[in-house]
A and B are shown apart, each in its own frame.
Chain A
């Protein structure tokens, strides 16, 4: 009896180990519908939402971030086998010695250095350029990285966003090769991509990381073929789901998501993907300059939840800081504070204090044009009308918005969308770090105290609850700008997707999902 039990347990163990160790190489396929185009899939192509969903399946970086706001010790190894943080600006990295790309080129530390140099030379990774000082190979499979900045998230950014490619391939590849037929270090090879239509990825059967226990979550290769379809119209994405033409869709309209929510055939995933809307005042060249009471009055007059609903985001919340609540360093206590919570009485008091007891101000509000935004900001316009502030809405298309937002003659109030992949300080720096702007900041502030507090909070050396709270409170008091609201976006997957995983940008990549054993694609 005991012998039988032993044998039985042994067999069970072997089977379960086999189960863990082998992500079966099946013939299964997966179809995913995206809201936008993948854009440029060459290793260092320009940014886009679609690219974010795709390129990490094709290219491995040194490390991978399994979720938002991960610190350096929480990253998963990819091409880097291990790393040692010497101090806040120095890190030593050792890479695997058997890395190769899909065309068979062997990857060494010098290829890694080359990749980083090319990334910066491409001009599309300016943020990297702001963080990275030097990178050099210290051995065939070891390197040393020095950072320019010790901001929170800098080291992580440098480790987990740069695709690694082979110098031998990249230096000889034509432009067409780089975009249509790149040699990849990830588990999927690009078979074809047709802009505005679809992208097809095919499993790389020769993927270098043969030891599956060492793979990062991005590198699972359950599917033989992954097809990414583009459907820009949100109703077309919903139809694709209903019509069973796809296994999952991104960014399903919150008004239509109810259809899928109570249906066991579908797995609805609401996500806060680190994106939020902020409102800022023109603090140098408008009626808001030098009038803190006026700025605060306006913020109290705005019913952020109503504005959010006006935008059509049925699920979400008003902001409590100038950063999204999913940030890794977001303080819990902020969630219970009064952060310009809608209070018309207080707003009117403050208006009197500001010197405008009966209102009588006219201002221009600029925002990036979309039907959602216009609806939502009409609510805001009404709110401010209640305290006598007449708002002229000025919608601008994306490119125009981008060029006008740094021009202090163009707007008095701006509503913009901000995001972070890791820390609140990233958003703060992005808007308020004087060093990055020619006119003070994104809202034209010239406040040395603000800058000092920002630097203290952002530097990984002094990053702490106290410094974070100090900046948060100071900014709140000054009311130069404030977070407006966050909202959930919805991914809808068929029920064969059992678990989902947000990556470091808040997106859900197909390879990060977990599937039932009997998963079958819906698409024909």
Chain B
């Protein structure tokens, strides 16, 4: 298992290198640069041209790529933001926890609601509870999350005064953003749980469990669900990894200084250092999340764990000759 984890970690290096070069190249070719934004709309063409030259944006591709890579590898830094003047790395480090909070709690909330909804639908497939569950989750996915966010603010902040409308000054400021973000995920999780459970519920081992006299609730939650989890985990992992890149709309509406808001503004402002740093950071966190997801698979399904270990076991088997290897018969 350790070998597997190490191997995956090593694989991340070429991935990140590729991402770095790719994002740099993309930003290089995208027209526009941050100069006039820094100077303000009243700047003249002459002023813009001068500053552009000073900031080194007229240098050839390879020179700029070299500077960028050197900054990362030698100085261990993403440089400073052209717009804010602050260190990109420091900015990402302070924003990551906020984005993480929103992403983590909304995944948890989506899961707590989505999985039982899906299980309920699967158990009563094609009957009323199924239709109701699917209808409810359909409503959830049909609401644009910025609209939902505003509606929640109007209700809970404006009318009821239970919660603040925007900002991030305390734990209660995160409640509405998390809820608005979670609702959209519920539908996907519920539908996937439903279809995955339907496959599993008709499996023979579920019938075996019933034949042993296992109570129905235990059959569903301890026998069926663990087997249905693999595709659900995949989806949750992908979703979580994506959300760590920032839930842009939620952050904009609620004025939460997260990674998404930072990246979107950086792109609009062509803030090269901030964009490159943010994208690399996202690539890194996503890779880590995917690794964690794969490890969770191994925990949930021993057959997958065996697969991971099998690669190193096979080599060992071959080496120890003369040993009776058969486990079968």
Q: A interface vs B, CB < 8 Å?
A: 37, 39-40, 42, 45-48, 123-124, 126-127, 129-130, 175-176, 178-180, 194-198, 229-233, 235-236, 239-240, 242-243, 245, 397-404, 406, 417-420, 426, 430, 433, 435-438, 442
Contacts and interface: CB of A to CB of B under 8 A. Distances in A.
A197 B255 contact: yes
Interface string B33-63: 1111111111111111111001100000000
A123 B270 CA distance: 17
Contact of A47 (B38, B80, B85, B158): B38
12 contacts: A40-B86, A179-B85, A196-B262, A197-B256, A198-B169, A231-B166, A232-B255, A236-B165, A239-B154, A398-B32, A399-B269, A433-B44
B310 to A, nearest CB: 48
A319 B55 CA distance: 37
B130 interface: no
B51 A123 contact: yes
Contacts of A231: 166, 255
Given A130-B44, A398-B32, 17 more contacts: A40-B83, A123-B38, A124-B39, A126-B47, A127-B43, A127-B47, A129-B47, A175-B86, A195-B262, A229-B167, A243-B161, A399-B37, A400-B32, A403-B31, A433-B44, A436-B44, A437-B46
Contacts of A130: 44, 46-47
For chain B, the bracket of interface size reads 35 or more
B39 A398 contact: no
5 closest A-B pairs (Cβ-Cβ)?
A399-B32, A47-B40, A126-B47, A46-B38, A436-B44
A175 B91 CA distance: 13
A127 B165 CA distance: 40
Contacts of A40: 83-86
A197 B37 contact: no
B252 interface: yes
Nearest to B164: A245
A243 B268 contact: no
Given A398-B37, A398-B269, A404-B31, A39 B84 contact: yes
A141 to B, nearest CB: 31
B102 to A, nearest CB: 14
A406 B82 contact: no
The CB with the most chain A CB atoms within 10 A, among B44, B47, B165, is that of B44
B87 A176 contact: yes
Nearest to A129: B47
Interface in B232-266: 251-258, 261-262, 265
B150 interface: yes
A233 B248 CA distance: 13
B257 A240 contact: no
Contacts, number: 169
Contacts of A233: 150, 252-253
Nearest to B54: A123
A194 B85 contact: no
Given A236-B165, A399-B269, A436 B46 contact: yes
A270 B274 CA distance: 36
B213 to A, nearest CB: 57
Contacts of A123: 38, 51, 54-55
B148 interface: no
B168 interface: yes
Interface string B15-43: 00000000000000001111111111111
A121 to B, nearest CB: 9
Contact of B83 (A46, A243, A420, A436): A46
B289 interface: no
A245 B164 CA distance: 8
Contacts of A442: 45
Nearest to B260: A196
A399 B42 CA distance: 14
Contacts of A198: 167, 169, 255
A419 B32 contact: no
B84 to A, nearest CB: 5
Given A126-B50, A175-B80, A418 B255 contact: no
A52 to B, nearest CB: 9
Nearest to B51: A123
Contacts of A399: 31-34, 36-37, 268-270
A195 B80 CA distance: 14
Nearest to A403: B32
B281 to A, nearest CB: 16
A197 B167 CA distance: 6
Contacts of A230: 255
A236 B34 contact: no
A178 B84 CA distance: 11
A140 to B, nearest CB: 32
B279 interface: no
The CB with the most chain A CB atoms within 10 A, among B39, B169, B255, is that of B255
B158 A196 contact: no
A49 B270 CA distance: 17
